[in-house]
Amino acid sequence: MATTLTTLNRGADVLNTRIVPDRRRYRRVPLTLLGRFMRANKEEFPCKLIDVSVGGISVMAPADVDDGERIIAYFDQLGGLEGHVVRPFEGGFALALTATSHKREKLAAQLTWLLNRHELDPADERRHDRIKPNDGSSSLALAGGIVIQCQVMDVSISGASVGTTARPDIGSTVVLGKLRARVVRHHDQGIGVQFIDTDAANLVRQRFGA
């Protein structure tokens, strides 16, 4: 756990150096994600993210867009991003994001996780045996005090796959039952989480017998 927290802190420092804006602009970092975008006329097209900052993105796209056009883009691991076209180029365009300071902070946290996920070792969950609980019913506490019912599809002492319609941001903290966890992925039926409580192993064994 200490290693994970150290990695996150180090990742945040790197991201701040590379992404947080100086007085003139936001610095972008390369990141490849598949997604979709909607033009101002409501037409939708697939796209591929090629670089990103908390102030803007560049994407490859099969459709031409207009300079200044309002675009809404969606990427599974970043969620919805809105902005206007500042530079069309051959095969894609650059978008200046329209976002509150809170949204930019959330985006910075998501990017920190994505850029350092190889150091956080998502394969950790494969090192621990997973079980399918007989009773997987549980609760999921999200940001803002929202609590919803969910289904634990499988679980180990390090993480769980959770069936839910909710899609909290990658890298955000949730509470699954009594266990604090970090969202590490989205999937067709819900989300994957990594437990971050120091006594997670004992709590998981008590609740699920893992």
- Return the pLDDT at 133: 84
Q: Is the pTM of this model over 0.75?
A: no
Mean pLDDT along residues 42-66: 92
Mean pLDDT along residues 23-35: 72
Confidence of residue 11 (pLDDT cuts 50, 70, 90): very low
Percent of the chain clearing pLDDT 70 (strictly above): 78
32, 49 Cβ separation under 8 angstroms: yes
Confidence of residue 120 (pLDDT cuts 50, 70, 90): very low
- Candidate from 29-33, 54-58, 59-63, 186-190 with smallest mean pLDDT: 29-33
Confidence of residue 98 (pLDDT cuts 50, 70, 90): very high
Q: How does the average pLDDT of the chain come out, rounded?
A: 80
Q: Which long-range contacts (CB under 8 A, 24 or more apart) does 76-79 make?
A: 76/33, 76/34, 76/35, 76/186, 77/33, 77/110, 77/114, 77/170, 77/185, 77/186, 78/33, 78/35, 78/49, 78/52, 78/107, 78/110, 78/114, 78/169, 78/170, 79/110, 79/167, 79/169
- Return the pLDDT at 128: 53
